[in-house]
Amino acid sequence: MNRRKFLTTATLSSSALVLNACNDENHQAIDYSKHPQSKKGTKTVHINKNKKTVIKLATSWPAHFPIMGIGVEKFAQRVKDVSGGSLEIKIYPKNTLVPALAVFDACSSGQIDAFHSGPYYWKGKNSAFSLYSGIPFGFTAEEINSWMTFGGGLELWREQYAKYNLHPFLGGNTNIQMGGWFRKPINSLEDIQGLKMRIPGLGGEVFSKMGVNPVLLPAGEIYTSLERGVIDATEWVGPALDIKMGFYKVAPYYYSGWHEPGSILELTFSKHTWDKMADEHQSIIEVCASEMNANMTSEFHYENIHALSKLQELGVKLHHFPEDVNIAGKKALQEVIYELSSKNKDFAKVYESINNHLKLSRTWSDVSLRNFLNER
């Protein structure tokens, strides 16, 4: 062995020893087998760099819509970057390829490959789908992520969507939503009787049982309807998006709420498109969707705190619903759950899973988060 070859071999051997030692220590410190996403060895590499895959994704939001629309645009850019340009997601904002609320059917039939929207819009297909957005008095964003990812929620969701040729992912979370904007103050349950309010989803059904008359309106018509007194109140999302709608100018009473405590947004693929994607592209989507879900949730929080401060500067006063409204809401929720569970076994099955998770989660959140927030 000449001197150069001896030195190279010696250097490599000692490096290898150091690496092995590090690996041994790491393996002792971390038990990888317990990590839920550990799927070592099951993937194969077969991306053909010359073959570009293009995915058509439609959203239920206008182009560059704050947080939700922009979040999807960032997701598409990340997918392109991480895949080295081999996977491109072409975004079609609402009504540019399919109408906002036709994305489910368009994806199910294969007209588009994917969509970004909210699962409670599809309660007409199956009332159980509304539960994947969450329930009134139910999960916070952290709690629903926990149920979805580790508590069986995502498996149920995928099982039920598969019947429509769809494969969903968590696609963000609005965080706790505000109860809404009212033209007059709500001092008791009496004050909401016969009120015309724009409120969709399970929240709308609960308020309906409480005596409210829920109205569904396209986003573009809410402000004018409120201004002209065609409706008396509206919920929307939270300070970040509400401030842009200008509701504070025509309905000055802003209430905190419980009807959408942590609504999930969805990133859903055609199962046919998903199943034929390369393993690496599937992994890239999984990672980037997870990033979008986390970022959108944090961005809502960030934008909400700044918008709330701005609304307060504009003179908006914050209110809570009176106790009799809250009590009536909890009672109405139980009636809605009972009725929908009796009519639809899918609803009953998903609700049971939610309820089991929520029972334990309530205790933990009370002892940890509620206690802390009360003391902060």
CB of 239 to Ca ion, least distance (A): 13
Identity of the residue, 93 or 261, whose beta carbon is nearer to Ca ion in the bound complex: 261
Identity of the residue, 112 or 226, whose beta carbon is nearer to Ca ion in the bound complex: 226
136: closest CA among 363, 332, 312? Answer: 332
Q: Is 20 helix (H, G, I), strand (E, B) or coil?
A: helix
CB of 164 to Ca ion, least distance (A): 24
CB of 353 to Ca ion, least distance (A): 23
108-137 positions binding Ca ion, by CB under 5 A: none
What CA–CA distance (Å, rounded) separates 329 from 182?
Answer: 17
CB of 349 to Ca ion, least distance (A): 25
Identity of the residue, 255 or 274, whose beta carbon is nearer to Ca ion in the bound complex: 255
235-264 positions binding Ca ion, by CB under 5 A: none
Tell me the number of residues near Ca ion by CB under 5 A.
1
Q: Within a 13 Å sphere around the CA of 218, how many CA atoms are in the beta-carbon half?
A: 10
Bridge-based pairing of strands 253-256 and 178-182 is antiparallel
Identity of the residue, 107 or 241, whose beta carbon is nearer to Ca ion in the bound complex: 241
166-205 positions binding Ca ion, by CB under 5 A: 177
CB of 133 to Ca ion, least distance (A): 9
Identity of the residue, 260 or 346, whose beta carbon is nearer to Ca ion in the bound complex: 260
314-373 positions binding Ca ion, by CB under 5 A: none
What CA–CA distance (Å, rounded) separates 116 from 61?
Answer: 8
**83: its two tokens:** 């895949």
What CA–CA distance (Å, rounded) separates 188 from 326?
Answer: 10
The answer to whether the Cα torsion of 101, 106, 112, 117 is positive or negative is: positive
Q: Are 290 and 172 in contact (CB under 8 A)?
A: no
Residues that bind Ca ion (CB under 5 A): 177
